[in-house]
Chain A
Amino acid sequence: MDSYSITYAPVILAAAIGVGFIALTLTLADQLAPRVRSRGKDSIYECGMPTIGQGWSQMNLRYYLYAILFLVFEIESVFLFPWTVVYKGLGPFAFWEMALFVSMLLFGLAYAWRKGVLTWE
């Protein structure tokens, strides 16, 4: 087993312990809590009135455009994190390269801004 897996092995263990804790608590609550079913109780809560239509309704398209913009910037951060660790050995060249990369991204943001993607209507 390599050192990387050894370092991060406790994460999986912790996830298992977390799942165990939640399962235990919910089971305990299930055993302790009363269970009385009725039709009114099983319906979803919206305004207190009987609900009209399904819960799965249409959604504003805005959210989707934000998601695309987010992807671009998040991928960029994956490239910039390694850069922050090694830039010192690379000198000014590394700076100009990064500046070019970031300015292209910022140009993208400016373009989206200008196009009205960031304006909520």
Chain B
Amino acid sequence: MNVDPTTGLTLQAAPSWAPDFLTTPFLGGIALADIIAIVVILLFVLNFVMMEIWLERKVAGHVQLRRGPLHVGPHGAMQSPADVVKLLTKEQLIPSAADQVVFPIAPYLVFIPVFLTFLVIPWGPLVLFGNLVLRPFDLGLVYMVAIPAVQGVGLVMAGWSSGNKYSLLGSARVVAQLISYELPIVVALLGVAMMAGSLSLTTIVESQMTRGWNVFMQPLGFVIFFLATMSEMSRTPFDIAIAESEIVGGPFIEYSGMRWGMFYLAEFAAVCLNSALTATLYLGGWEPFPGSRALGLGWLGDYFGVLFFLGKVLFLVVIIQWARFLLPRLRIDQLMDFAWKLLLPVGFVNFILTAVLQIFGFAWFAVGLGVTLAGLATLLTVYRIRRQVSAPLAPAVA
């Protein structure tokens, strides 16, 4: 373990066999190993995003009975690098109606929050490198809600500074959507935090190894979190803010070339990020499969945990991509109703039932679940009766 001599705090970025000059903290507790780790994370994000874009085009192709990119490299695998070169050589326009200061700053504020959130993810153990995590962030859960929220500011800046009515509309929608879906996420996370009794992502993964994966312990929370994060990324069933076919691209209509590329990078990095967070919080992080410890296969996770973690991330990424090509876009009122009238109340029910389970035990939890279901049934019945009474008789269809 590498310990900072002044504070006695563990620095986890480097393995225990790393030479001293790598782990000696300088400049306010930052060691050389930290810098290397951050650059590695950045490179991972960039490469994963390139792979993800290729994969997405392949998935799109096969969903629509096409074959997707095919010509650049084997199975079109070099398509994304080729696109990057194309973007680099494309002119970057700033419209004369746009705000000349805010317009170029916006891409920074859109990508950096997503990148910063990658820092808290516990990637899991890899043979000689120990447990790959930058630092034991003890407020990981709050951090992963707070930092990505800054992205909303960047998107408003982009939409407002473009001097375009569609962009402005798009950015208003982005913010409405971001803040509406932030709440179900937070409420779902409260359940996760209660199960682990901690806000640290590493502790949450470790507690899932003994208590069972959260996807089984918190099924409602899992569904809420997954749907709400999908909406936060504004991907197709929820992409009302971008909506090419009505507001032609939302906040980034006016962006072109590499500046536009930064928005694209942020969007795809967010897909990777949210898959990684879902895998960490609900799918047991780096544990290969539920109950691997009990079967004596714990070493699989202890040595190659990263591979299992990345496998889960890829699995979730593909599911998110399927949803994009299989489902139609929602209207904005449906989108808002879904967050406020369904996900948020259900999230609170999940939270309170988790609290009952944790404090009063399983018997009272069963009672609570029964009461909730009975209450839901009553509400639904009352609602249907009232609608039948108030609605006029439907005209006969000829």
Contact = CB atoms under 8 A, between A and B. Distances in A.
Nearest to A55: B163
Interface residues of A, number: 69
A2 to B, nearest CB: 7
B293 interface: no
B348 A102 contact: yes
A58 B375 CA distance: 43
B90 interface: yes
Q: Max chain B CB contacts within 10 Å: which of A6, A28, A73, A84?
A: A84
Interface stretch (B93-101, B208-216, B316-324, B383-391): B93-101
Given A18-B115, A63-B176, A109 B345 contact: yes
B337 A118 contact: yes
A11 B119 contact: yes
Given A14-B115, A17-B38, A33-B257, A74 B182 contact: yes
Interface in A75-121: 77, 80-81, 84-85, 87-88, 91-92, 94-95, 98-99, 102, 106, 109, 113, 118, 120
Interface in B266-304: none
A66 B182 CA distance: 12
Given A42-B95, A70-B179, A7 B345 contact: no
Which has the most chain B C-beta neighbours within 10 Å: A21, A35, A60?
A: A21
Interface of B: 4, 6-9, 13, 25, 28-30, 34-35, 37-39, 41-42, 87-93, 95-98, 104, 107-108, 111-112, 115-116, 119, 134-138, 141-142, 145, 160, 162-169, 172, 175-176, 179-180, 182-183, 186-187, 190, 193-194, 197-199, 248, 253-254, 257-259, 261-262, 332-333, 336-337, 340-341, 344-345, 348, 351-352, 355-356, 358-360
Contacts, number: 221
A70 B181 CA distance: 10
B168 A85 contact: no
For A19, A53, A74, which residue has the most chain B Cβ atoms within 10 angstroms?
A74
Contacts of A26: 92, 104, 107, 258-259, 262
Interface of A: 1-3, 5-11, 13-15, 17-19, 21-22, 25-26, 28-30, 32-36, 41-46, 51, 53-57, 59-60, 62-63, 66-67, 69-70, 73-74, 77, 80-81, 84-85, 87-88, 91-92, 94-95, 98-99, 102, 106, 109, 113, 118, 120
SS class, residues of chain A in contact with chain B: helix
A35 B45 CA distance: 30
Given A91-B359, A118-B337, A6 B28 contact: yes
Contacts of B107: 22, 26
Contacts of B333: 120
A17 B1 CA distance: 26
Given A13-B30, A22-B107, A67-B179, A54 B163 contact: yes
Contacts of A2: 7
A62 B51 CA distance: 39
A55 B183 contact: no
Given A28-B88, A55-B167, A118-B340, 15 more contacts: A13-B38, A26-B107, A29-B257, A42-B93, A46-B165, A51-B164, A55-B97, A59-B172, A66-B176, A74-B182, A84-B197, A87-B355, A87-B358, A99-B352, A102-B348
B254 A45 contact: yes
